[in-house]
Amino acid sequence: MTTQTEVSNTPIESVKISSIQVVHRRRQKVGAIATLARSLERHGLIHPVLIATNGELVVGARRLAAADRNGWKTIPARRVELSLEETQAIELAENEERSDLNAHEAGIIRMAELQAEVERLSKTAPGRKSPKSAKSLRTAAIKTLGSHPRTVQRDEEIIADVKDFPVLESWSRRNIKRAANALRDLPPNEHNAAERFIGTFEPREGNVAAEALENMLDVTPPKIRKAIYAQSKSKDPKDVQHAQDAALQLPPAPDAFIGHLKDARRHLKEVVSKRKKRDSAQGCVKRAYQALQEAITLLDGALKMAQQNAIKNLGGDHL
């Protein structure tokens, strides 16, 4: 195993940028590099990139991209001989120190490491005690890596969610799950429009975008959702902001309605309590039915007001 000290002691050489191969990257995107490019112009490259003996980049994708953007032909680099496992370990440590991987990228890495460990265990020499079935191999690999079955399950779910809805790629784990669940509950013919809509939010606003989706899903009829989708496609940032705000304000839920709904809920609880005390079954059912009708009527009124407010907020042009 190549140690950090051995890497640090490797001589620095000037390597042609065009000769460096960028493959097998854990981080899928280098992100914004304008600031880094300006820093390279002003101060030069403080930390050389790391490449394998075959010319593949190990560490320094953002530095390499910034240097290329500045028109550099060569870049300071250390060249070391590493196995694939060592390459992945060094890159992961570098990313954790400099810029955290997003949930999707981290999940892909862990699943790749799990698969590699499963394959290693499956090739254990005959005669040695080793798991045989696919399930036992997977369980043993998870244990060897110090992971947990629930972590693996979450990673698989996140990867599947992003595969279905690529716009969620840079979001946090929790917000990916929230948004993916809401998107799946929408009619399939709205998925593309809904993805474009939440794509108007920044990745760091994933919790806000997920809330907007949930609001639209829970209380908004197709007519209003389509109006929000349409306005969010505008090239005017004010229109886009208006569409986001309209979705986030659904439903307006006036305090008076909340009070009435709480009363209806209390009434239902009282009915259930009386039922437990062996109240007359016929009278209990009748009162429960009346309470449910009252709650439904109140909900209908609240939703109608929410819809009217949404239409008013968006204006009539989109409806």
Please report the pLDDT score of residue 74 as a whole number. Answer: 94
CA 264 to chain centre: 38
Contact, 53 vs 80, CB < 8 A? yes
Question: What's the fold here for domain 4-99?
Answer: 3.90.1530
pLDDT in tens, 204-253: 788 899 888 888 876 656 888 889 999 999 989 889 999 998 888 876 54
Q: What are phi and psi of 52, to 5 degrees?
A: -80, 170
Residue-wise DSSP of 286-306? HHHHHHHHHHHHHHHHHHHHH
Q: Which pLDDT does position 318 carry in this prediction?
A: 43
Lowest mean pLDDT among 33-42, 57-66, 251-260: 251-260
Give residue 158's pLDDT.
92
Q: Which helix (H) or strand (E) holds 275?
A: helix 255-276
CA dihedral sign of residues 252, 257, 262, 264: negative
Mean pLDDT for all residues in the chain: 75
Taking the C-alpha atoms of residue 49 and residue 40, their distance in angstroms, rounded to an integer, is 13
Nearest to 302 by CA among 267, 259, 269, 270: 259
- Please give the structure tokens belonging to residue 231: 């306005």
Structure tokens given for 160: 């599947």
186 CA to centre of own chain: 18
DSSP lists the bridge partners of residue 52 as 80
Write down the pLDDT at residue 257.
53
Residue 43 CA to residue 157 CA, distance in Å, equals 43
Other CB atoms within a 10 A radius of the CB of residue 286 amount to 12
Q: What is the pLDDT, as a whole number, of residue 202? A: 83
Tokens 């979001």 locate to: 171
- Among the ranges given (66-80, 150-164, 213-227), the one the predictor scored with the smallest mean pLDDT: 213-227
